[in-house]
Amino acid sequence: MVRLDPLGSVKVLVTGGAGYIGSVCVEVLLDHGMEVGVVDDLSEGHREAVDPRASFFQGNLLDVEFVRDVLTGFQPDAVVHLAAKALVEESMRDPGSYFTGNVSAGLSLLEAMCQAGVSKMIYSSTCAVYGLPERIPIDERVPPNPVNPYGASKLMFEQILQWYEKVYGLCYVSLRYFNAAGASARFGEDHRNETHLIPRVLQVALGLRNCVEVYGKDHPTLDGTCIRDYVHVLDLAEAHRFALQCDKSRCYNLGTGSGYSVLQVIEAARRVTGHPIPLAFRPKRAGDPPRLVASSGRIARELGWKPAFTRLEEIIDTAWQWHKAHPAGYQGEGVKKEQTL
């Protein structure tokens, strides 16, 4: 078992630690006395998002020699693997890049871990592995059935982890995130191609977009828009810390158990920001599940993890404070104001 030693003897290597969830995860692990290294190629992440207390290694996971050298030199007790491609629509246009980025790169990392003698991984997975779930809320007994290459690539890597456990004795914990949201005081959400609802809504409040686009108003939900489970990024980071305590391979869903529609999110953001936030309806996207809400009972029972942020307005407010402080993101390039009407 990897123990949560307050004296800092635990060493963790975080792939994708310059990204949104990765940056907050690194911050939380460091705040709890762990020594942290970050591997990122900065294709999507930001160097400015890497906590200065962490060691940083820039490179690509497909480079087995590079990864092996990092693992051999840093000698972590565990790897937190967050590096991935994660845009559903893009995966439908370019599936090959998703199987390369999420499966081949993961295999490269696993091979390097085996060579370096590192036998524990905390894996950043996704609720997209469930596809159109057969019941709500979704617990881990719901059969995975992904409906896009993104979800398929994540499930494929989970299956690979099962074989590495059987053959090499790898211990892994797969964390299936629902919708990450919010920010810490220092680190927030800054994607080069922003597709997530809450930051796009807040960009409207900041005057960087004219309106927020809503895809579909005839879904089988109360107001016709999709319902999602929004879990705070700090709570996700804490789940990784809890998962480091596992001494057997497990799979856990991470959410709050509450679902909010797109229109409810926009209305909550109006209350938080004090801005009108106009919207424009667009045709619904093929394969977009009407409702995705997590059951996180397993991780609560087995590890004691429960989300600290349960109110939507509170989650949005943390994101709003960060975006107000960083209206142009990490690199100061800003988001070009665009016409959406």
Catalytic residue of the set 20, 123, 130, 150: 150
Distance CA 319, CA 167 (A): 43
Distance CA 82, CA 50 (A): 14
Distance CA 195, CA 63 (A): 29
Handedness of CA 283, 255, 25, 233 (dihedral sign): positive
Three-class SS state of 84:
coil
- Inter-axis angle of helices 197-205 and 262-273, to 10 degrees? 40
**Catalytic site includes residue 330:** no
DSSP 283: P
DSSP 49: G
* Main-chain dihedrals φ then ψ at residue 92, nearest 5 degrees: -75, -25
Q: What would the two tokens of residue 161 be?
A: 């982890």
CA quadruple 299, 305, 308, 312: dihedral, nearest 10: -10
* Main-chain dihedrals φ then ψ at residue 202, nearest 5 degrees: -70, -30
Using the CB atoms, write b or e for 45-84: b if 16+ within 10 Å: bbeebbbeebebbeeebbeeebbbebbeebebbbbbbbbb
- Catalytic residue numbers read 150
